[in-house]
Amino acid sequence: MGQRALLTEREREVIQGTDINDIENVNAYKQKIRTRVRKRIKNLEDDIEILSEEEPELADGARRSVCGPSPMFEQVRDEIRELREKLHSETGKV
């Protein structure tokens, strides 16, 4: 499998319960995996924040890949709301 996302190939095997015969304490190992994944998720959040500022298209692609289109709809809705408020404050009309 090429590059990893959140899980390595080995971590996938352990989480799925396949090929774990060589692990003495599976639950402890899974806990280590959970800790690593939480850190990776935090790093992903930081990366998306940076991409939002510097490479918005890449950030949008990452959001769509992880969350589906819903966050994009929310972003567009918020932008429309802000534009309406600005238009109303400048012209008194919507």
**Which domain, by its residues, includes 15?**
9-54
Whether 35 maps to a domain, the answer reads: yes
Whether 62 maps to a domain, the answer reads: no
Whether 46 maps to a domain, the answer reads: yes
- Per-residue pLDDT of 14-56, as tens digits, reads 999 998 999 999 999 999 999 999 999 999 999 999 999 999 9
Query: Do the Cβ atoms of 33 and 11 come closer than 8 Å?
Result: yes
pTM of the full structure: 0.65
Whether 67 maps to a domain, the answer reads: no
Q: How many domains does the chain have?
A: 1
Whether 36 maps to a domain, the answer reads: yes
What's the pLDDT score for residue 14? 95
Whether 43 maps to a domain, the answer reads: yes
Please tell me whether residue 63 adopts helix, strand or coil conformation: helix
Query: Do the Cβ atoms of 26 and 14 come closer than 8 Å?
Result: yes
